[in-house]
Structure 1
Amino acid sequence: MILDRFRLTGRAAVVTGAGRGIGAATAVALAEAGADVVLSARTADQLREIAAQVEAAGRRAEVVPADLSDPAAAAALADAATGAFGRLDIVVNNVGGTLPRPLLETSPRFLEEAFRFNVSTAHALTRAAAPAMLAAGGGAVVNISSALGRVAGRGYLAYGTAKAALAHYTRLAAADLAPKIRVNAVAVGTVLTSALEVVAANPELKGRMEQATPLRRLGEPEDIAAAVLYLTSPAGAYVTGKLLEVDGGLQAPNLDLGLPDL
């Protein structure tokens, strides 16, 4: 059956930023498909809640609280997976993000920090994971990029630049790691996570954003989790170096920050 190609029985995964939102939904989805999961983020209580959901799906969970803005902490998750599960097959580089800021308030240091948090951490974990994946016969990496790495809007310079870099990093890493390790990315649109609590609590603003989205709704974390499952499972076995756009059809940002002309 075609659904068998979405199964991850016997696989082991690492998901960063797994305490809530996209990371949490992805970790649970991978577990429901059959994978054991290393969960990492800053907040241990949140991770334990997601670990309980992984275990309820019949899989093992390893909780690793860490400050993943530090590339060394991200890299250490590869050893955490092999130590807990004896193997590593899947990496989901989900941790990242950068607050909006006007160009003249975006210092070189702020831009560099955005790059480190969104790109350097992903590279650190991918690099550390590659030997374990090769030892297991291969693997799959999925990086969580953004539609703002493709479309332009005021205030998103640091975030959009970092996510665009992550998208091309995906293509380059896929070339380096083929044929045994596949590397892909998901370019997400506006997804209703805790980062958008202000939007969710404001029906007028939420309505404007929905109307500015071709599919007339904002995304749910499970929309992204489903895409990650495809890319990490045998269903996506002939896909590498690609950016899967899961953004409701966006061709421009659906949140105007109202920054004036200079």
Structure 2
Amino acid sequence: MTTPTVTTGQTDTTGQTCSPARPLSGRVAVVTGASSGIGEATARELAAHGAHVALLARRADRLAEHVARIEAAGGTALALPTDVTDPASLAAAAVGIRARLGRVDLVVNNAGLALPDLLDGSAGANWQRMIDVNVTGAFAVVEAFVPDLLAAAAERGHADLVNISSAAARSVLPGFAGYAASKAAFSHLSRNLRAQLSPADVRVTNIEPGAVDTEFRDHIDDPAISAAVKEAIGSIEAIPSGQDVAELIAFAVGRPRHVNLSQISVLPTREA
């Protein structure tokens, strides 16, 4: 990990020093699900804008590679292998981030899992895995970092919680009912969190991307499930890269403190 540096330049509305080219300078960000796809792209994008970024995911080797690339580009990053379904793992990550980067003021709650409803006896297990990650795990991330967000907002005027849900939250997806239901729950959680946290100047942004051509379906352990996911996704027009979503996240959290982009849908221009 590189030593955090202070970038000089103009002062924003909160009194924080920043550079026009690095509008997130001085901010400490957490990105979950950061080993690939939207999470990896978001970590790189936030670091490029000057944030000090903690990358959380289960795959330690991938996180180390991403941190090395961020540091080679002049950014500051920290890899913390973490399982969002394990409260102790999240608590340890939160302590490690505070010790090495400082208090968190930006959380991108991105870890997620999409599995099909095969209705062959495995649907119940798949349902539980998605609830564990997409709902219970997502809420655990909020619980782990909300104290930091509230303290940061009280000091600097605002903090950000960005939840990455899915367009599936508003769609009918035969074969993926459990996934759609879990994301609908996550989107509604985001709306309620905004009502609860916005009076304390914590901005909550819920982003619902359509299908994104990422790796999330490629590291599913079960070959039958992986094949089913690939077949279903292959019939859908997808956003080509997680970078498109990452750039939107950086834009949203870079708005003036009095502006909250609370609900964003990101869809391909053409849909099958």
Report the secondary structure of 1:178's partner residue.
helix
Q: Secondary structure at the match of 2:54?
A: strand
Query: Which structure has more helix as a fraction of its residues?
Result: 1
Q: 1:8 aligns with which of 21, 24, 32?
A: 24
Which residue of the other structure, out of 134, 137, 152, is the alignment partner of 2:172?
A: 152
Structure 2: runs of 5+ lacking an equivalent: 1-9, 11-18, 219-225
Q: Match of 2:109?
A: 93
Moved over 4 A (4+): 103-109, 196-199
Residues 1:99 and 1:51: Cα distance change in structure 2 (over 3 Å): same
The answer for the alignment partner of 2:7 in structure 1 is none
The 3 A distance-change label for structure 1 pair 229 and 149 is same
8 Å Cα contact 1:22/1:221 also seen in 2:
yes
Report how far residue 237 of structure 1 moved: 4.8
Would you say 1:209 and 2:236 are equivalent positions?
yes
CA–CA separation in structure 1 for the residues paired with 2:149 and 2:36: 26
| Distance of 2:111 and 2:42 partners within structure 1 | 12
Contact preservation (8 Å) 1:119, 1:162? yes
- C-alpha separation between the residues in 1 aligned to 2:194 and 2:127? 25
With normalisation by structure 1, the TM-score equals: 0.81
Equivalent residue number for residue 214 of structure 1: none
- What does residue 149 of structure 2 align with? 133
Q: 1:111 to 1:183 in 2, by over 3 A?
A: same
Using the aligned pairs only, state the percent identity.
36
Residue in structure 1 matched with residue 213 of structure 2 by the alignment: 192
**Matched residues, number:** 240
> What TM-score does the superposition give when structure 2 sets the normalisation length?
0.78
Instruction: Specify which of 68, 88, 99 is matched with residue 52 of structure 1.
Output: 68
**Which letter does structure 2 place at the counterpart of 1:209?**
I
How far did residue 147 of structure 1 move?
1.0
The alignment yields a C-alpha RMSD, in angstroms, of 2.9
1:257 maps to which residue?
none
Q: Which runs of 5+ in 1 are unaligned?
A: 211-216, 255-262
Is the CA contact 1:71–1:120 (under 8 Å) kept in the aligned structure 2?
no
